[in-house]
């Protein structure tokens, strides 16, 4: 009979324990969790603050009693594993409630310690009212603080998933919210050119956004707290939420001689084994391989943690399943928008030395003649020359998850960006268009790769010559142009191109744009057919406007 000890619950650890039981009814399985909750909806915590999740009990996915009743797992909450003796095959456990320390033997050990919120060593960081969000007790403290009669203003530090979700839910709770983020945009997995839509959405819903500013210090004042930023701003508030990021809780592993990476993440092989025999590790505490780039990465997401727990349990029981890497598929709700991404961002691809190409599309969530269609922005990335699909990002009110899930699946199975053309996706007017936005991205990419389309991008616009050496052409309607034009561009609507082609010098390159890039591509093909050298603005006026206005 195999004895499996799991350290840490929630996604990775609880998945490992339950999978082990499903595979081996006779195994002895012990799960230690130092906190009071063994399996809870970590990702749902912000929505309890805002009231979308009304019942606190809904946050508990499993209890020690339910895990024991259904899976015969010996769950011990409030019990912290403080030492691993790999030679003796045992762990030392501190039981807080009983005030005792004892040793527990194991045949196989699965570590799922997770990650803890970063608390930088800054003045005032430990003041009352400066809180983090990781567990149910954490969120209880946030709710208690937010419910105070004097609590009117909150500052959220950090614009990642937790920070943005907390900002939204604190607004929903009735607080005035400021969000401080060191980057130029929120949600680091997105590129700036897509995340700007989220910046605007946050501001439109009353969030005071302080970008490219970090936390310098926090002071206690007579009437509350005051946050000081690295750019000299002072933000009076009653509550501070630290959502700066997480660091792996790997001190237990390091003390046991388990190898860790440069940022403290536990190193595992493709079967999730550490360098110490019979010890596996899963979840936010481990270093993974980025599925797309092959580089070492830390990607703390619940979905991968669950899969890792499942595989580690199987391997602990004699299997040889491999974990093929994490590609970072994720989604976040930001008031009326959703933002999703998968694979590499443009910034990440360039950092890995990949020669990346891209396109932008603005597409409806379903057929426009059926009521309720809403536009989404889609950005797709591929490797120049080869067309290897690298990643995608989408932002919009609806339909975002479906499109990124499709691309995520394509990436997982090694698709080329040209393969997006051939995907046969569900269509009926309430759900889609006959040509899905993912298909449309494939059409554009295919045109680029085979030379039928040359693009330029929002970041190129400012550098275009305005000395008459090129023709800058806006093919939107006069009514659209009356609401704003890019400096230096002249207007000839697409439907007048053929009749007015004599107004376009034949010996100069032509740079075209419309609202989204679709009509200007039609004008592009007309002019190329007449012998012109042309370039089309990817994403059109709307994407350029979003990027330049921030």
Contacts with 521 (C-beta within 8 Å, 6 or more apart), sequence order:
453, 536
What pairs with residue 337 in β-bridges? 334
* Closest C-alpha to 4, from 17, 15, 14, 13: 17
* Token representation of residue 64: 């020690």
43, 237, 260, 481: the active-site residue: 43
Q: Which single residue is written with the structure tokens 């997006």?
A: 420
Known active-site residue 143: no
Q: How far apart are CA 90 and CA 7, in angstroms?
A: 12
Contact by Cβ (8 Å): 309, 11: yes
* Token representation of residue 380: 């797709």
Contact by Cβ (8 Å): 376, 396: yes
Helix (H), strand (E), coil (C) string for 440-476:
HHHHHHHHHHCCCCCEECHHHHHHCCCCCCCEEEECC
SS3 203: helix
* Token representation of residue 513: 């744009």
**Phi (first) and psi of residue 78, to 5 degrees:** 70, 20
Contact by Cβ (8 Å): 546, 203: no
Can you list the positions of beta strands (E) in 96-187? 100-105, 108-111, 115-117, 130-132, 153-157, 176-181
> How many alpha carbons fall within 13 Å on the CB side of residue 63?
5
* Closest C-alpha to 371, from 353, 395, 348, 398: 398
The residues assigned a catalytic role are 43
């Amino acid at each position: 009979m195999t004895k499996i000890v799991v350290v840490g619950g929630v996604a990775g650890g609880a998945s490992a324990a339950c999978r082990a039981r499903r595979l081996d009814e006779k195994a002895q399985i012990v799960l230690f969790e130092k906190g009071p909750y063994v399996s809870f909806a970590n990702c749902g915590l912000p929505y309890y603050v805002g009231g979308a999740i009304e019942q606190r009990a809904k946050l508990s996915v499993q209890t020690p009693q339910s895990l024991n009743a259904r899976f015969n797992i010996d769950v011990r909450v409030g019990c912290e594993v403080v030492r691993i003796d790999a030679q003796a095959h045992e762990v030392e456990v501190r039981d807080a409630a009983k005030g005792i320390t004892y040793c527990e033997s194991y045949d196989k050990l699965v570590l799922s310690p997770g990650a803890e919120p970063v608390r930088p060593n800054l003045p005032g960081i430990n003041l009352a009212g400066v809180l983090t969000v990781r567990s149910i007790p954490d969120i209880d403290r946030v709710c208690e603080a937010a419910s105070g009669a004097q609590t009117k203003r909150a500052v959220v530090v950090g614009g990642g998933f937790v920070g943005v979700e907390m900002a939204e839910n604190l607004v929903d709770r009735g607080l005035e919210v400021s969000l401080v983020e060191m980057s130029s945009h929120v949600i680091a997995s997105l590129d700036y050119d897509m995340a700007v839509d989220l910046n605007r959405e946050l501001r439109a819903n009353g969030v005071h956004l302080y970008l490219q500013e970090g936390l310098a210090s926090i002071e206690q004042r007579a009437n509350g707290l005051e946050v000081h930023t690295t750019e000299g701003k002072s933000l009076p508030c009653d509550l501070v939420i630290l959502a700066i990021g997480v660091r792996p809780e790997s001190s237990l592993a390091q003390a046991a001689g388990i190898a860790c990476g440069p940022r403290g993440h536990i190193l595992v092989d493709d079967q999730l084994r550490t360098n110490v025999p019979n010890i596996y590790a899963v979840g936010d505490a481990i270093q993974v391989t980025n599925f797309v780039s092959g580089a070492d990465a830390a990607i703390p997401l619940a979905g991968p943690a669950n899969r890792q727990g499942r595989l580690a349990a199987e391997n602990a029981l004699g299997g040889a399943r491999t974990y093929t890497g994490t590609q970072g598929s994720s989604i976040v709700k930001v008031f009326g928008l959703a933002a999703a991404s998968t694979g590499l961002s443009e910034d990440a691809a360039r950092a890995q030395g990949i020669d990346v190409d891209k396109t932008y599309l603005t597409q409806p969530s379903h057929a426009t003649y059926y009521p309720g269609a809403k536009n989404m922005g889609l950005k797709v990335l591929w490797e120049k020359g080869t067309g290897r699909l690298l990643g995608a990002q989408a932002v919009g009110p609806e339909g975002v998850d479906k499109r990124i899930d499709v691309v995520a699946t394509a990436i997982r199975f090694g698709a080329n960006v040209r393969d997006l053309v051939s995907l046969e996706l569900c269509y009926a007017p309430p759900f889609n268009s006959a040509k899905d936005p993912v298909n449309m991205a494939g059409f554009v990419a295919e045109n680029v790769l085979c030379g039928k389309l040359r693009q330029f991008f929002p970041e190129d616009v400012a550098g275009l010559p305005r000395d008459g050496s090129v023709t800058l052409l806006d093919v939107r309607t006069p009514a659209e142009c009356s609401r704003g034009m890019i400096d230096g561009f002249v207007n000839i609507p697409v439907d007048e191109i053929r009749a007015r082609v004599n107004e376009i010098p034949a010996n100069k390159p032509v740079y075209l744009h419309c609202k989204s890039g679709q009509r200007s591509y039609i004008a592009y093909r007309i002019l190329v057919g007449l012998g012109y050298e042309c370039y089309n603005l990817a994403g059109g006026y709307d994407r350029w406007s979003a990027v330049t206005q921030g």
